[in-house]
Structure formats: structure tokens, C-alpha cells
Amino acid sequence: MNNENSAKPVLGSPKTAEELLEIYFLNMRSALLETAAAMDRIQRSENGGDMMDDPRVRKLNGAVEILKSGKPDRVEQILRLLSDSVEQ
């Protein structure tokens, strides 16, 4: 039975927030730079400006907004956003 009001388990970490940031910062920075560079290349290419309205690009921009929101469960929200919806 799916009860949306039930609390989700929270997975803790044996590391502090500072330690986690130290571990992950360079990888997160790299992923952001890689994404920004790919978007720049697409936009600069022939008809690139038109591609900025592509649904996939809109989903990536939506993912950035989710990251900026600071709300919990960002990974779940982004996965749902980027997943292909199946019509039934």
C-alpha cells in the first residue's frame, strides 16, 4: 500500500557536511562545467539557438531550478523530471 504521508527513511552519513563537501566538490564542479560547456557548444552551433527550446534542454534547465531550490529530495525530483513518461 502506497501511503504518501508516510515519512521516508533518512540515510545518514558518518561524515560531516564539511567532509562531504571536500570529497564531492571537485566532481560536482566538473559536472557543472561539462554541462555548461556542452550547452555553449550546442547554442553556438548552426541552429543552436532553436535547440534551446528543445524539450531535453528545457528539462536540463528545470533540473538546474530544482538544484537552486534547496529543497530536499533533489535527486528524486530530477530523476522524475528527466525520466521518459510512459502513457498508459
First to last CA, the chain: 21
Per-residue model confidence as pLDDT tens digits over 30-68 = 999 999 999 999 999 999 989 999 999 999 999 999 999
- pLDDT of 87 higher than 80: no
- pLDDT of 69 higher than 60: yes
Per-chain mean pLDDT for the chain: 88
**Is the Cα dihedral 75, 81, 82, 85 positive or negative?**
positive
Per-residue model confidence as pLDDT tens digits over 11-29 = 778 999 999 999 999 999 9
For residue 30, CA distances in Å to 3, 11, 39, 40 come to 38, 25, 14, 15
pTM for the whole thing?
0.75
